[in-house]
Each structure stands twice: as C-alpha cells, then as structure tokens.
Chain A
Amino acid sequence: MVPFTSLSAVAVPLDQPNIDTDQIIPARYLGRPRAAQVDAMFHDLRFNPDGSSRGEFILNKPAFAGAKIVVAARNFGCGSSRENAVTVMLDNGFRAFIAPSFGDIFFNNCLQNGALPVKLDEARVAAIRQMLHQSPSRTISIDLATQSVTGPDGQTDRFDIDPFRKDCLLKGVDDVDLTLTYRNEIERFEAAQRQELPWL
C-alpha cells in the first residue's frame, strides 16, 4: 500500500448525494484485470453509449483535469462492496475523498488501499463544493499527521481518524502483518471456542 502523508491538489466537487459504487464502476467492468478497468471509472457518466465523451460531466471538464481530491455529498460510496470502486479512483489519480458521510464498506476499502476518506461537517463540505464550482481548479491541502484540511478559502478544519488506521496510512502498511503478530491470542481464542461451541 502506498503511504498517505499529505496532499495538495485540485479538487472536484460531486454534488449528488448517495453516489453508489455501481456509478463509480459499473458491474460489467468488474471481471477485468485492474489495468483494464481504468477507463471504467464513472464510465456511464463520462461517456455516451457511442463512446464519445460527455462534456457536461464534471470530471470531463478541463478545469478539473489532474484532480486528486473528490469533495462529495452525503453517503458517498454507498452500495456494493466492490473494492474496485476505490482502486479505479486511485488508478485515475485520486487519493482523498471529503464528504459528510460515506458508505461504511467504501470507507474501509479506502483505508486498505492508501486512500484517505475525510469526514467533515455537512455545511462545510457544501461550502467547499460551492467554492470549487465558482472558481474551478482551486486546490485543497490535506495533512494526515495533523489531521487537517485547508479549503480553497484558506480555512483549516480538523478531522477525526482512528489512530490505528492513521498509523497504517502514514506508514503504508496493511494490517495483515500486524494481525499475524497476535497469533497466540488468536489460537487461545480458538481453543476456548472449541470448548464452548464444539459444533462449529
């Protein structure tokens, strides 16, 4: 996993609430290898059925080219557990998502892949989206160590993140190696369970 420390980049506003992972990557692309999924990100919003680009969709606007941050509305990434929704965004250059709330599984999948999901107050997120619409291609800075986000207006907000997940992101390590250091605890649990629930 690539570490996440800090990021200063163009941010793109997505106003729709409840953007589901079927939107982020339609199911028909899931069977492909990761390298062949890159163009599938928001496919049906980015492309017409004939394959031409939908200029009106915000991710197709030149002002947002090179964006690395998404500023979304509530419940971003709800729906299907497909982790491809995170990886396809990473493979298109995105590293951080700011929203008032996230689908729980999408949120966890971000943390497993070196992407940072940031929860901020709903009114503040709406205000940031508004600024980005008014003057596109403005940047947002995120610093994980200090857990802060600085918006296009220079206002800095703090965000919460679990210390455990923060540590994994900063170091770029996944949690399997850490968990394997608890082998004895796991074995003890299993021995006790064999006594208690012998039918399992």
Chain B
Amino acid sequence: MLAQSMFEKIWRRHVVVDRDDGYALIYIDRHLMHDGSGAGFARLRERGLPLRRSDRAAATPDHYVPSRAGPQTDPHFAQTLEQMRRNTAAAHVTMFGLGDIRQGIAHVVGPEQGLTQPGLTLVCGDSHTSTHGALGALAFGIGSSEVFHVMATQCLWQRKPKAMRISVEGSLASGVTAKDVILAIIAKIGAAGAVGHVVEYAGSAIRSLSIEGRLTVCNMSIEAGARAGMIAPDDTTIAYLQGRPFAPAGENWDKAVAFWRSLRSDEEATFDREVTLKAEDIAPMVTWGTSPEDALPITGRIPDPASESDTLRKEAMRRALDYMGLVPGTPLQELAVDHVFIGSCTNSRIEDLRAAASVVKGRKARVSSWVVAGSGLIKQQAEAEGINKIFQDAGFEWREPGCSMCVGMNGDIGQPGQRIASTSNRNFVGRQGRGVRTHLMSPAMAAAAAICGHFSDVRRLTA
C-alpha cells in the first residue's frame, strides 16, 4: 500500500460516501458547541429535524460570558446564554455551563476534558477549531450552515484538502515559546500561506513541545489560512490523555493507545508542500501590523513600506502603520503599551499562566493588565499554585474564564487608540474594539510588557 500521511489516514477512515467528482461525505466524530451555535439549533427546529448524535456533542459558553465575577447582566447576552442552556438541555447535549467549574473556552475545554482525541474528526462553529489537531485529531472550523448540516447528519461534504508539512528542527532557545514558533511560521509563509491545506507540524522542536505548546501552535494554523493543523500523537499525547474524564479507560485504553500509535505519517509519506524552519533562528516575536503575518523578532524595528517592492504589500503596510500609529524604523522595544491581556484559546492554559507569572513575580505592572484563564479548572489550578496571588500582588486583574478581550463580544473591549499587548491570535483592525491597536506575543512577553510599560525582550528580564 502507498505510504500515507497522518491526515490521509484519518481522512480515509471517515469517508462515508465518495463521489467521483472529488467530493466526499465525511463523518464527524465530535461536535463542540459554544454560545454562537444557536443558529444551528434554530434551523433544526425550522426543518423539523432532530440533533442526530447528541452523544457526540459537547457545549460550553465562552464568547458572551462576562469576565467579571457574577452573572451576565447585559440582557441581550444573558438571553443568548439562556437560549444556549435551553437548546442543549432539550437536545441532551453535555453542557459545561456558567457556574460549572469545567466551563471555559471551547478549544481549551475539549482537550482538557479528553473530548479531543487522536484520530477523530472534530468540528466547531469557530475558526480556531484547528487547535484540537495538537492531539492528532483532524479538526476544523465551519460556518453556521455547516454546523446545521453536522447537527442534522453528523457528516459534512468536503473536497479533500492538500497536505503540507511544516518542520521545525533543532532546539528552541531559552525564552522562546510555542507562540514564537507559530508567529515565526506565519511570518515566513504569510497569512494565506497554507490556504487549502491541512498542515502537519513536525520536527524535533515540535516534538519537544508539551501538549499545551502544541495547542498554541495548532490554534494559529488558521492565521496562515490552513484548513487544519495537526501533530502526530506520541508518548506526550498519550500521557496527557490518560485519566481525562472523556478519555477511554479500562480495556478500551490499551485498544485506543494502539490505534493512536498507528496514526503517525508513514516514513515515505509525501506532502504537496514542505516548509522547514530552524528552531535556533526563532526569537521572541511581536506583531507590528494588522495581520498575524506582520510579526518580527522583539529586537527588530518597525519596517518601512518604502523598502517593499510589491505595490499591494506596500499599500497594505502603509495602511497598517497608519492604523497602528507607528513610524518606520522605531525599535519595537520602545513602544509603550496601554493595556495587557493574557488569555484566549491560544494562550490561557496553566503553563501559559505559569510562564507569565514567573516573569511577573515580585514586580509591579505599570499598566492595566488582565489575566483571563481559559477554563474554570485552569483558574482553580492556578489559585491552588498561588499564581493568582503573584498576578494580583503585581496589580493584575484576575478575571473569570472565557474569550473576553480576544474578541470583545462580551463587552470587554479597549478604547480607540489604545495599544494592547495580547496573547490572543488576531491583530485585525478593530478586533479588540474600534481603533484598538493589538500586538500579539507570548504570555511571557506580554508579562514583560506589563512590567516594563513597553515591549521588551523577556530574555533580558529573566536572565
């Protein structure tokens, strides 16, 4: 038999109907729902169709939940949350609702609960569903019509995407994290660099990442345009899953492990595209513009559109610098920040909070700074470790789990003109509020910005 990539193996296992025009009906093993999935339920009702597999769905509210303690007081958002509670209860969907310690951002909760597993197909009505590929699942985001399709049929019509492998070889320098790796990858291949492809991340630097780091990398696959990102399951993956509430147990555990170990790409597998990066070349990264591809090492300077030859790119840079209020040639480390946000499905897990806390410890934040854990369980764990205390002593706000200021749909937005150091995944125009200037970076770098009041090289703070 021909050598197969991991993506190929998982794809083939899920083909229900193969049409001769290249389209296939693909079975979806898991469907994660959040508080924006209401349209799908409404369409089921309109068409008089039941939710086909309530046992394969799980739900948690994240976008509209308040990040201050207490109930949602905005009547409109409260109604959205109540509608979600009713929809999931009526359809018998497992729900980690507000007040449940397991509630959090869907892409944090799925892996944490062991719902995300190697070899599965997993979808959610959210583009960052690519996160779950960190455990070796084929996971991708879909729009609300496809959410409805999955609800009604547990399947999706898909044309098979192309396969791409991005290898990061070598070892990461101290102070360089998974976030820096993915920002460096996107800077290299561009925001459309992986459109139409499923990316497998490989190489020794990727293998040496913890599951949390891998989740960060796969999370931002969509920012390179990829359909999905994935990493082969290994001992790290298996150790992570063991004992999680929805992971297999007992005699099924051994069976599952054997299956998971069979998924990695064959030695001889070929890819439509290959990209390689050297881990040693990657430094702590910061974005300067309004696309995640606009990322530079912290030691860099704001680029000059005049030195760009591509006219479209030149114009895009000008617009970005104008929006961001930046002057070419300015060292990144001289940029003062107004606010710091540590959170989002990219970087709100316990290791992220630990990394930020280790920078903050014994110091004071110079600007308003927030920490928003990705789930209630992470928040609880951080409190058990005294991490909240480190942040609070430094003047950070320690808030309730959810998407919060990553997108501001719950009202957590910045002021026009504010410069925010953010551990989230999108620096789009207006993403954190109209006129807000977002700079993406790792939790340790965001913590360093909070302490210094300007962007700074975390390697100098921790040396």
Contacts and interface: CB of A to CB of B under 8 A. Distances in A.
Contacts of B293: 18
A37 interface: no
Contacts of A17: 192, 312-313, 316
B235 interface: no
Given A16-B315, A83-B145, A103-B225, A22 B430 contact: yes
B273 interface: no
A49 B434 contact: yes
B143 A79 contact: no
Given A15-B312, A79-B127, A180-B153, A27 B408 contact: yes
Contacts of A26: 430, 434
B424 to A, nearest CB: 12
B319 interface: yes
Given A30-B36, A189-B16, A164 B143 contact: no
> For this complex, into which size category does the number of interface residues on chain B fall?
35 or more
B225 A75 contact: yes
B457 to A, nearest CB: 28
> For this complex, into which size category does the number of interface residues on chain A fall?
35 or more
B17 interface: yes
B144 A199 contact: no
A116 B144 CA distance: 17
Nearest to B248: A199
B192 A81 contact: no
A26 B409 CA distance: 10
A24 B125 CA distance: 18
* In the A-B complex, the 9 residue pairs with the closest CB atoms: A112-B145, A199-B248, A75-B192, A83-B143, A109-B143, A199-B252, A81-B127, A83-B144, A164-B23
Interface of A: 15-18, 20, 22-23, 26-28, 30-31, 44, 49, 73-75, 78-83, 86, 101-105, 108-109, 112-113, 126, 162-164, 174-176, 179-180, 182, 185-186, 189-190, 193, 197-200
12 contacts: A16-B315, A20-B428, A26-B434, A30-B409, A44-B434, A49-B434, A101-B195, A164-B23, A174-B145, A186-B154, A197-B259, A199-B255
